[in-house]
């Protein structure tokens, strides 16, 4: 653990006060997520795996999650319908979660609080002019172009065009990340935002239907109630067909770190909820594998992987 902490401390020292990388580590990974907690749920062991290996892992969170439901009764006053201070609290939760995953470069798009959580379509928060969903896409993309040119990642991870499950902020995060990746590479675009940089590989997070089905079946067989109360994988709209999945990261050794990080997001994640039930019923396999779809670059399948997947986001780049 001491060696790990030293490596993470070294990664932290690579980032200057202006956000630029002062020394280029061999591997650099950028993740773009919508709200605090999304990063741990969707890519927690992946982040820990690469941070532990000495890569520079940069997390950009697009909003502070101001519209989230508060699951801790004694903190109910934080909600947007009361004191509207949940965003600042969730930023603290995120910082605490990142200490478990070893991610020392975590930023909010455009700075903390610039873009507000949009809530769901049809709700009052989604009508606010300052919400992320209604932000001019070029404005948001320019903020991310700056980060891309500062950190110069070889790999970008974000959501698919449906935002994983249709939340407006997830869709907007996808749009922002994909547009910014194009703009950042153009030599003639906004020289004031830094030197151009082209990202070699871009991935979308994915939950393969077959994998989730096996998990749900195992939970039901063990006496559980499925995933989020769903007993049939076909009832979950955010799953993708297995053949679209190109890449899997085996991060089972970092499941304890992911679970600890999930617990830090206490206002959003009930420690008796489905994520913790998965580990109870299925062990490290449940949260220890994270899946991706490669949408830019060339996949390099691992010959030892039974499903023919890549097992390294940086495969072919070293």
Is the pLDDT at 223 greater than 80? The verdict is: no
Instruction: Report if residue 234 sits inside a domain.
Output: no
Query: Could you report the per-residue pLDDT of 180-207, keeping only the tens digit for each?
Result: 999 999 999 999 999 999 999 999 999 9
Whole-number Å distance between alpha carbons of 84 and 68: 10
Whether 99 is in a domain gets the answer yes
Residue 163 has pLDDT above 70, yes or no: yes
224 domain-assigned? no
Average pLDDT over residues 118-123: 95
Question: Is the pLDDT reported for residue 1 higher than 60?
Answer: no
Structural tokens at position 17? 């006060």
Angle between helices 38-52 and 255-264 (to 10 degrees): 140
Per the structure, the complete domain to which residue 111 belongs is given by 2-204+240-262+290-296
Total number of domains in the chain: 1
**Average of per-residue pLDDT across 115-138:** 96
In a domain, 177, yes or no: yes
What contacts 148, CB < 8 A, 6 or more positions away?
30, 156, 180, 181, 184, 197, 199
Query: 3-state DSSP call for residue 66?
Result: coil
Residue 54 lies in a domain: yes
Query: pLDDT at position 275, please?
Result: 65
Q: Can you tell me the distance from the alpha carbon of 207 to that of 242, in angstroms, rounded to the nearest whole number?
A: 8
* Chain mean pLDDT for the chain: 90
218 CB-contact burial (10 Å; exposed 0-12 / middle 13-18 / buried 19+): middle
pLDDT in tens, 284-317: 677 899 999 999 999 999 999 999 999 999 999 9
CATH number of residue 64's parent domain: 3.40.50.10320
Q: What is the pLDDT of residue 221?
A: 73
Residue 217: the pLDDT is 77
Of residues 23 and 77, which shows the higher confidence score? 77
The first and second tokens of residue 168, run together, are: 């407006």
């Amino acid at each position: 653990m001491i060696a790990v902490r030293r490596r993470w401390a070294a990664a932290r020292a690579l980032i200057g006060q202006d956000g630029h990388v002062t020394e280029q580590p061999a591997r650099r990974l950028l993740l773009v997520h919508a709200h605090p907690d999304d990063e741990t749920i969707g890519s927690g062991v992946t982040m820990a795996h690469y941070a532990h290996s000495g890569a520079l892992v940069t997390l950009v969170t697009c909003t502070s999650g101001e519209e989230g439901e508060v699951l801790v009764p004694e903190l109910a006053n934080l909600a947007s319908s009361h004191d509207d201070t949940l965003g600042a609290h969730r930023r603290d939760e995120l910082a605490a979660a990142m200490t478990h995953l070893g991610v020392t470069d975590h930023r909010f798009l455009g700075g903390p609080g610039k873009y507000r959580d949009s809530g769901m379509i049809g709700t009052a928060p989604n009508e606010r002019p300052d919400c992320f969903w209604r932000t001019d896409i070029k404005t948001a993309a320019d903020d991310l172009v700056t980060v891309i040119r500062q950190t110069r990642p070889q790999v970008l991870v974000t959501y698919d065009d449906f935002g994983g499950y249709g939340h407006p902020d997830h869709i907007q995060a996808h749009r922002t990340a994909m547009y910014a990746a194009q703009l950042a590479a153009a030599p003639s675009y906004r020289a004031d935002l830094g030197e151009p940089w082209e990202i070699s590989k871009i991935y979308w997070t994915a939950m393969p239907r077959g994998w989730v089905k096996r998990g749900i079946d195992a939970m039901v067989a063990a006496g559980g109630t499925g995933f989020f109360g769903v007993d049939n994988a076909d009832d979950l709209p955010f799953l993708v067909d297995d053949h679209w999945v190109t890449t899997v990261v085996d991060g089972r050794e970092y499941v304890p770190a992911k679970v600890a990080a999930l617990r830090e997001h206490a206002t959003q994640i009930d420690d008796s909820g489905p994520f913790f039930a998965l580990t109870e019923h299925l062990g490290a396999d449940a949260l220890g594998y994270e899946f991706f779809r490669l949408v830019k670059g060339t996949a390099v399948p691992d010959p030892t992987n039974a499903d023919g997947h890549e097992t390294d986001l940086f495969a072919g780049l070293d």
